[in-house]
C-alpha cells in the first residue's frame, strides 16, 4: 500500500513540488492526488520513473508499505 505521508515527507526533504511529480509522470495533478490517496494505483513504469528521477533509495517504504 502506498504511504502518502512518507512520500510527502520525502518530497518536502528534497524540495520537490507535487506539480513536479505530476510533470515527471506526465499526468494531471488531480490524477496524481487520486494515486496518492489510494483511489487509483501507481503503475510500475510510474514508480520506476519516480525512483529514477527523484532518487528514491528505498522505494518499498513508500510504494509497498504495510
Domain boundaries, the chain: 4-54
Angle of CA points 9, 60, 7, to nearest 5°: 15
Q: How do residues 23-66 score in pLDDT, each as one tens digit?
A: 999 999 999 999 999 999 999 999 999 999 999 999 999 999 87
Q: pTM for the full model?
A: 0.91
- The residues, ordered by sequence, that sit 6+ positions from 53 with a Cβ below 8 Å of its Cβ are 24
Amino acid at each position: 500500500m502506498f504511504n502518502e505521508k512518507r512520500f510527502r515527507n520525502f518530497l518536502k526533504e528534497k524540495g520537490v513540488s507535487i506539480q513536479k511529480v505530476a510533470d515527471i509522470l506526465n499526468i494531471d495533478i488531480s490524477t496524481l492526488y487520486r494515486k496518492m490517496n489510494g483511489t487509483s494505483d501507481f503503475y510500475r513504469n510510474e514508480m520506476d520513473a519516480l525512483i529514477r528521477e527523484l532518487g528514491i533509495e528505498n522505494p518499498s517504504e513508500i510504494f509497498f508499505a504495510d
